[in-house]
Each structure stands twice: as C-alpha cells, then as structure tokens.
Amino acid sequence: MSLRSNISYKRLSHLMVGIVVSSALLLSACNDSNTQADTEMVEPAADLSIFEGCYTVSDDEPAQIKVSQQDGAWVMQMKEPASTKRVWDDAEPLEGIEKSDIPTFFSIDPDNVDAVIGRPDRVLVLAHVKPVYANIDPLLDSEYLSYIYRGANTIYRVECDDVNTDILANPHANIVIDNVNDSV
C-alpha cells in the first residue's frame, strides 16, 4: 500500500466515522423531540379524590349522592327511602372523563375545570371547577357541577349522613325521616 492510498484511506475512514456520528446524533435528536412532543400532548390524569364525599342539589338539604372509593374503584350511591331499611343503594361504578368531553355536558371552558367523573352510561357526570374560576363567575355558587340526565346545574358538597330521605316527596317540605338504624 502506498503512502498516498494510506492517507486517502485514513481521510475516507474519518469522513465515514463523522457521517455515522452525525447521523446518529441527528436521529437521536429527532427522536428526543418526538418524545417530548408526545408527552406534552398527553393529558395528566386528574385527581378524582376531589369528588370523594356527599352532594345535594341545595346546600341546606341532606346528602343525596355519595361518591367514594371502594376496592380501588370510584363509585356513587344514592339515598334510599326509609322503607328499604338501608341508607344508601348499591354502588354504581364511576370513571374519569377526559376534559375534551366537557362541552358534551357543561357550557364551561375545559381550562376552568380540574376533573370530571361520571357513570359509564353518562346519566350522571360531575365536574370540579377550579376554585379561582368559581369565585369570579357570578353564575356559579359552588365548585361542583352536575349533569343528571340531560340537565346541568351546580350541586353542593355537604357532610355525609346516615339519615334516609324520601326522594319522591317534596324536597323543600322539610320532611324528617327517622334514621334507619334507630327504627329497629
């Protein structure tokens, strides 16, 4: 091998190494930017624990809906009348709902909502409005919104209780029904 061909071979090998390294860096940079773009598009999972508790349609009435976690899954229960001899009905499953689905149920900008949870059949959907927004919107007097079978309104988080209510009676009649546990 001549000196001249040896120098050409070294230059060619340096050039090839440079191309391979440059290509690898370019491909890895492209891959990193795609990964970053993908993670920015993924919506973080909402904290559904904000819904744990009891709710009613008026802040001066007893609880009517209970949201809790049972065996790692979110569920809802409705109050039962005293004739059933129990306070809450059987638990129904709930699931987190994407913010992009908010316009289906509520006329509020999804950016003003923290989390949404609902039944799989969407007969009941609850949304938690960011406290800052709830404080400035004159139409909201609660941080919680409910969609119950084609109608949306604010609902109120109240203390859970073990007192039955008669949902068929006039809810504004101040009817008091004895606690099931007291009438044995």
CA distance 108 to 116: 12
Domain co-membership, 33 together with 112 = no
Report yes or no on whether pTM surpasses 0.75. no
Domain co-membership, 27 together with 92 = no
The predicted-structure confidence for 92-114, as pLDDT tens digits, reads as follows 999 999 999 999 999 999 999 99
Element spanning 132, H or E: helix 131-136
The predicted-structure confidence for 144-156, as pLDDT tens digits, reads as follows 999 987 788 889 9
Counted residue by residue, the chain has a size of 184
Domain co-membership, 60 together with 104 = yes
Domain co-membership, 61 together with 143 = yes
Query: Three-state SS for 101?
Result: helix
Write out the residue range of the structural domain in which residue 124 sits.
48-182
Element spanning 127, H or E: strand 124-129
Question: Among 184, 160, 173, 183, which Cα is nearest to 88's?
Answer: 160
Alpha helices in 1-88 (DSSP H): 3-41
DSSP 9: H
Domain co-membership, 25 together with 75 = no
Domain co-membership, 122 together with 142 = yes
Domain co-membership, 147 together with 66 = yes
Domain co-membership, 94 together with 172 = yes
Number of structural domains found in the chain: 2
